Amino acid sequence: MTVAVDVPEQESWFHKNQQRLAPWLFLAPGLLFFLVYVIIPVFQSFNLSLYEWDGLGAAEYVGFRNYEDLYWEWVDRDAFYVSLKNNLIWLVLYLLAIPAGLFIALFLNQTVWGIRLYKSLFFFPFVISQVVVGLVFTWFYDPTFGLLNEFLGLFGMGPLNVLGDERFVTYGIIFAGLWPQTAYCMILYLTGLNAVDPEQIEAARLDGAKGGRMLWHVILPQLRPATFIAFVVTIIGALRSFDLISIMTQGGPFGSSRVLAYYMFEVALSEYGFRMGYGAAIAVVLFLIMLCFIAYFLWSMYREEKGH
């Protein structure tokens, strides 16, 4: 019996398609994890939101009852309404981090002795943990010995219990959140400013542009990529604002500083939470809100790519 030793023209299937397969092979681990940890859970939580389940026993199918309950909470101006409203306040006010970050970046974008130190000092709040930020601001706002009230006292005002008053509490927490977020936007803009073309500035200066007009028509358009990223991270940061609320108020007083993410945690996973289905329904709502932004980001990124 003889064995055909040389089969040169019989290339393996893998060999033939190597070019096309290689990118998929490299993508495979990422895709797999994305599928298992992101895509599948999205559908799972939608499915779970149709059940009533305490996380221990058997789940009971209830159709859209959980959403109906959410709707009634909305009508009654109850917890869900408060959380959603706070989410919107977060979304709007958190964006202040972008102009604030830009302002500080412009201010720090100069060459004086020791500027690196100043830059890192401004960046410091982003480096420390959100938990620490939360604690520091809790003390800052403390009604009896907090710095804020000492300060207000100098002007004969106060005392103000920021974290204990349902009118101020959300703004108080957002302000604490702006501190690290501004630092983050600042660093994005600082790197962006490094890439600004000096020749264009020169040319603009020759044409007599300065101050605000220079910033608006020459610098900002060149900072577009940085602005885009700052916008994305700030929006996402606002929607998942959880740690500060958990540290500073636990959603209190009487639930007035809750946002959707925290409310979801509370009903499903906290000490008194046993309503997995309800938590999942809140998660779905939060996901739909995020989806609007995600769709917008993807669309504008796609447009950008096509433009090039």
- At closest approach, how far in Å is the CB of 236 from another protein? 24
Q: Is 76 in the site for another protein (CB under 8 A)?
A: yes
According to CB under 8 A, which one of 3, 144, 211, 308 is a site residue for another protein? 144
According to CB under 8 A, which one of 249, 261, 263, 286 is a site residue for another protein? 249
Instruction: Report whether 218 contacts 204 (CB < 8 A).
Output: yes
* Nearest alpha carbon to residue 254 among 168, 164, 162: 164
Nearer to another protein among residue 87 and residue 161 (C-beta) = 161
Number of residues that bind another protein (CB under 8 A): 28
Instruction: Report whether 257 contacts 245 (CB < 8 A).
Output: yes
According to CB under 8 A, which one of 23, 29, 57, 114 is a site residue for another protein? 57
* Distance from C-alpha of 270 to C-alpha of 258, rounded to nearest angstrom: 13
Ranges within 90-119 binding another protein (CB under 8 A): none
Could you tell me where the DSSP H helices lie in the chain? 13-16, 18-34, 40-48, 65-75, 79-94, 97-108, 115-127, 130-141, 147-154, 169-194, 198-206, 211-214, 220-222, 224-239, 243-248, 260-269, 276-307
First CA to last CA distance, the chain: 62
Q: Is 56 in the site for another protein (CB under 8 A)?
A: yes
According to CB under 8 A, which one of 272, 303, 306, 308 is a site residue for another protein? 272
Q: Is 158 in the site for another protein (CB under 8 A)?
A: no
Q: Given the rule CB under 8 A, which residues bind another protein?
A: 52, 54-57, 69, 76, 78, 142-144, 161, 163-164, 249-250, 252-255, 266, 269-275
